[in-house]
């Protein structure tokens, strides 16, 4: 069983709807990530939170709005999405940088939310 839980597993929404994707991790990690993955492509990083603060925004359109209410939860609020936003949205978590180290820690992915925009 995955220790990073994403809900819902599937979401179909119209272009005028507002919805939210949720992610919860119970691994004690303090870094959390949102990725977007299109079919037959690798995951694309969207946002990184470290200690509940947004540290990386990969120039994501404002119709995607992330939120990190606490160290275990990560949300992605969706509004006025376009058909090309249909994709698998993945949440991941990891330990943060080890003090004095530069190496990235392994990221652990949830099962994803498959999003379809009508």
Partner 1 sequence: QKEVEQNSGPLSVPEGAIASLNCTYSDRGSQSFFWYRQYSGKSPELIMSIYSNGDKEDGRFTAQLNKASQYVSLLIRDSQPSDSATYLCAIGGTSYGKLTFGQGTILTVHP
DSSP state of 85: G
CB of residue 80 vs partner 1: minimum separation in angstroms?
26
Are 108 and 23 in contact by the 8 Å Cβ rule? The answer is no
Q: Which of residues 39-78 bind partner 1 (CB under 8 A)?
A: 41-43, 45, 48, 50, 55-56
CB of residue 37 vs partner 1: minimum separation in angstroms?
8
Select from 22, 73, 95, 109 the one that contacts partner 1 (CB under 8 A): 109
The DSSP line for 49-66 is: EETTEEEEE-S--TTEEE
Task: Give the max Cα distance, the chain.
Answer: 48
Rounded-to-integer distance, Cα 10 and Cα 13, Å: 10
Select from 78, 112, 115, 117 the one that contacts partner 1 (CB under 8 A): 112
Q: Which of residues 12-41 bind partner 1 (CB under 8 A)?
A: 31, 33, 41
Specify the residue, 12 or 15, whose C-beta has the smaller distance to partner 1.
12
Select from 22, 71, 88, 95 the one that contacts partner 1 (CB under 8 A): 88
Rounded-to-integer distance, Cα 118 and Cα 104, Å: 37
């Amino acid at each position: 069983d995955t220790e990073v839980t994403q809900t819902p597993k599937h979401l179909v929404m119209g272009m005028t709807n507002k919805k939210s994707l949720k992610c919860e991790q119970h691994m004690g990690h303090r870094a959390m990530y949102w990725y977007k993955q299109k079919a037959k492509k690798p995951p694309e990083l969207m946002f990184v939170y470290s200690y509940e603060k947004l540290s990386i925004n990969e120039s994501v359109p404002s119709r995607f709005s992330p939120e990190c209410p606490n160290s275990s939860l990560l949300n992605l609020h969706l509004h006025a999405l376009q058909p090309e936003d249909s994709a698998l949205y993945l949440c991941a978590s990891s330990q943060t940088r080890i003090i004095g180290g530069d190496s990235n820690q392994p990221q652990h992915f949830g099962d994803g939310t498959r999003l379809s925009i009508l």
